[in-house]
Amino acid sequence: MKRIVAALVAALALVLGAGAVAQATPFDPTQVHFTYDWKPVDPTPVFNPVTNKMEYKLITSVNSDNGKSKVDFKNELPQVGNPDFPANPGDPIKVGVAATHLTVSSDTATSPLDKLSAGRYGLQLILTDNESGATATGYFFGTLTGSLGKFGGSVDNTFTDAQGNPLANPVWEVDLGNVHYKVTDFKYSNPGPSSSQVGGGIGAQVYVSGIDHVGVPEPTSLLLGGLGVTFLGGAAWRKRRLARANSCC
């Protein structure tokens, strides 16, 4: 009986172990394809009575304080991200994405230039995992400050939270399908004066990794495990019953 119980315990351990290992498949970034769609939005949401939700309205620019000059946001078309294995093993798997391009529009040619004291903006990101079709929407915010002109000026940027509080590095993470997405490492480049036709922009990195399912047995393994435990319990009960019967005789 002891040998039977020991064998069953060993077999049960193998079955449950196999169920966990079956889920531990290596993550292949070349099989990940996602679509990202950025849109500039007003940082203050408004109530939409049709959808009964608070929503962010699309914008095309932020204006200087006097309304004579502006910083234009280019609404990027949806793009597909295709991660690949990193050049150095162990490095994170990431894809650089452009969120928006910026240009200055101004006819102010002489000093004083047009002041931009609080050009708040938002960026909406619709991220879709192409394999599963799962999608999610994230929001990022910032404030542009500086001076705008036809031949001079400069524009600085500060990333913020939704309330306008400064952030060193915005981060948004979401699980879509079997992939974990992390959007962070935002970068800003300053657009030149209106006459220079030199644009700036905002970009970020999208990090991808597999969702860990290791340790979750398959349903078949759970069923076999349950049957094994039931059998072991029955064997132990029969052994105690036989012992009691022998003691009575």
Residue 217 falls inside a structural domain: no
**Span 112-127, average pLDDT:** 97
Residue 187 lies in a domain: yes
d(CA 28, CA 139): 28
Q: Measured at the alpha carbon of residue 189, what is the angle toward residues 184 and 194, in degrees to the nearest 5?
A: 145
The pLDDT confidence band at residue 229, using thresholds 50, 70 and 90, is very low
How high is the pLDDT of residue 2?
54
Reply yes or no on whether the pLDDT at 85 is more than 50.
Answer: yes
Two structure tokens written together for 20:
């966990």
Check: CB of residue 133 under 8 Å from CB of residue 33.
no
Residue 224 binned pLDDT confidence (cut-offs 50, 70, 90): very low
Answer for the pair 139, 58: CB distance below 8 angstroms, yes or no.
no
181 pLDDT more than 90: yes
Cα 129 off chain centre by: 10
Domain assignment of residue 195, yes or no: yes
What residue numbers bound the domain in which 130 lies?
29-210
Q: Give domain status of residue 21, yes or no.
A: no
Angstrom distance (rounded) from CA 102 to CA 60: 10
Residue 87 within any structural domain of the chain: yes
pLDDT tens-digit profile of 44-80? Answer: 999 999 999 999 999 999 999 999 999 999 988 999 9
Is 3 within the bounds of a domain? no
Within a domain: residue 12?
Answer: no
Model confidence, pTM: 0.76
Q: Is residue 198 part of a domain?
A: yes
Number of domains in the chain: 1
Coil, strand or helix at 249:
coil
What pLDDT is recorded for position 239?
59
Residue 159 and residue 144: Cα distance in Å, rounded? 9
